[in-house]
Chains A and B, each alone.
Chain A
Amino acid sequence: MSDKNAISVILAKCTGCTLCVRSCPFGAIQILNISAELNVHAEQGRGMNKKAVIDMSKCNLCGACVDVCKFKAIELKRAAKGPKKDLSAYKDVWVFCEQKKGVIQPISFELLGEGKKLARKLGTKLCAVILGSDIEAKIDELSARGADKVYIVDAPGLKFYQDDPYTKVLVELVSEYKPEVVLCGATTIGRSLISRVAVKIDAGLTADCTGLDIDEKEKLLLQTRPAFGGNIMATIITPNHRPQMATVRHKVMKEAEIHKTHKAEVIRKKYPDNIISSRTTLLDVIEEIEETVNLTEADIIVSGGSGMGGPDNFAIVKELAKVLGAAVGSSRRAVDAGWMPYSHQVGQTGKTVCPKLYIACGISGQIQHLIGMQSSKVIVAINKDPDAPIFKVATYGIVGDLFEIIPALTKEFRKILKKC
């Protein structure tokens, strides 16, 4: 640690109350018995007091303990900021708009919706950035979603996503036009691309945000994201680097509305071959989603777990999903048993999803599964065990035999959806 940044416990003020211990997300604080000579003792003894001790190898200087201490006994000194870089040249909010086979991904519209709000608060423009091949027709679509400017790079070498050319083009664009904020979906493409760009241009990057706002006084992007599986939220800023970059989780932000008459200014850029070139070669693109609905983009997910009893029984889950136009998910146990492919797995070692409705069938709700789905808006749990942890997060719970309940539900939904 450079001696400019330091955290210390003021022993005279510390009462050993343990508030800080509980607040520390990194488990870096312990209450120890300390003698007047500042020696640590295993046993409580004469002349010793219980005091908080910070393990610097774990401490991340986040300041959570400072805020929680009622006795002002923890002091965090942040390095005096050096002469600030000139950040004033950086303007506008950019959204990297992901296209696959010429189709703009819905996450991009969600980011344009959120980006507009941020641009308004900053008093700057909202700009859409799109890379691809034969994508001229996409300009109107991005204009209609509220972009004030569209940066378009249209080249055969950009038809499919590849790390090298996309990174180089985005680095060129950012270096030339200097955006203040760059947003991108937390997709497989987004996370691979933006991580590279951020390192190249020395920018700050926050992953998988679920909340964005502007500190109006400092004009900084406030990036809020879940950590430790969503049990703790952290708000992160990028004070001295530009652009401020963030990837954003699917389905959290509201899509921008469509205004057909809105027209954006268009900036077309061409780059030489050495920028478009790639060291890796894309040989083939294979689509294998069984139910045609992408899990992370789905509004409704019906998931099955070990309670399904076997691969064939997933048929009733798939039937319910079909009626609802939903994607099919799975718990880890059902994947490990070979009942469903890994691409359907929801949870810590699978996908994190955030649909409007998540129906968990025969899933007990281990913490690793909850991490992946507990931000869903409505959760329905069907399980025969009334004590299953899944019921603790379920909006609606049904205790009973899923082989009776799922087909009955399918029937009811079919009725309702037909009526409309």
Chain B
Amino acid sequence: MNIIVCIKQVPNTTDVKIDPVTNTLIRDGVESVINPFDAYAIEESVRLKERFGGKVTVITMGPPQAENALKEAISLGCDEAILVSDRKFAGSDTWATSYTLSCAIKKIGAFDVILCGKQASDGDTAQVGPGISTHLDVPQVTYVKKIEDISSSKAKVERMTEEGYDIVETPLPCLFTVVKEINTPRLPSLKGMMKAKSTKITKWTADDIGADPKSIGLEGSPTRVVKIFTPPPRVGGQILKGDTCEIAGKLAELLKDVVI
């Protein structure tokens, strides 16, 4: 089975602090990590490989330092890694990003399954996975919480919904975006870490993947950011004091209009 897993390097939010003066994120010295949802996609791809044999190719689009995220993915069991990196990609929105990744995937060649995290923790759009499947014209199932059954030609999966889940059957090749519930990611193994050190990361530019210059970067992006601002910070309100019954009565009274 040929599996492709798409990942993104993001700032680690457990490290994120807010500048008390400007109220913006302090990003200096913030460690970059694999997007938390992509960790589940990596784990699922490695589990599929362990069951069916084959190969897991991990791919990311990003700056040169995103190589570290790929190395980590190798240490977790991925076999090959591709960094799609070019100054020409700067300013890409989700349309251009999914186009770029789809060009790179076409260059990789035949695949059975593409796995992505449901969304990235910095942008939170959940648009790139479905964008890739549309550019490649393959079926997709989003928010997958379980791969129940999978063979060489089709898969049966559970898709999380607001009310519960759907059971969906799809032909392969296909793209899945996955949620946290799908598995518990393993830690890197010593063997994996050794392998990560020796594995050569393939690097592709815009020309290498044959991307149309008009469809990448800022020019290929239909959307433009016109303003960035800090929302007024939420300030703590009042602390209610007194004995339990007193507080409960006071709070219920304060919230009367909200709950009725």
* A interface residues with partner B (beta carbon < 8 Å): 1-2, 4-5, 22-27, 56-64, 67, 79, 100, 160, 163-164, 167, 187-189, 191-192, 195-196, 198-200, 202-208, 222, 226-241, 279-289, 294-297, 300, 324, 342-343, 345, 348-350, 352, 356-357, 366-368, 371, 374, 377-378, 380, 386, 391-401, 404-405, 408-409, 411-413, 415-417, 420
Contact = CB atoms under 8 A, between A and B. Distances in A.
Interface residues of B, number: 101
Nearest to A395: B237
Which of A195, A398, A411 has most chain B Cβ within 10 Å? A195
B171 interface: yes
Interface string B158-188: 0111111111111100100001110000000
Given A27-B28, A206-B223, A300-B259, A187 B162 contact: yes
Interface in B215-229: 217-219, 221-229
B167 A399 contact: no
B164 A287 contact: yes
Nearest to B85: A57
A392 to B, nearest CB: 5
A300 B259 CA distance: 8
Contacts of A25: 24-25, 228
A398 to B, nearest CB: 5
Given A2-B218, A191-B142, A279-B139, 15 more contacts: A56-B90, A60-B91, A63-B226, A191-B127, A195-B134, A198-B127, A204-B93, A205-B222, A227-B228, A239-B224, A279-B171, A280-B171, A396-B254, A401-B244, A416-B259
Given A2-B213, A394-B237, A413 B259 contact: yes
Nearest 3 pairs between A and B by C-beta? Answer: A204-B222, A57-B63, A27-B27
Contacts of A420: 260
Interface stretch (B9-17, B68-76, B189-197): B9-17
A3 to B, nearest CB: 10
B153 interface: no
Contacts, number: 318
B206 to A, nearest CB: 11
Contacts of B36: 348-349
B239 A399 contact: yes
Nearest to A60: B91
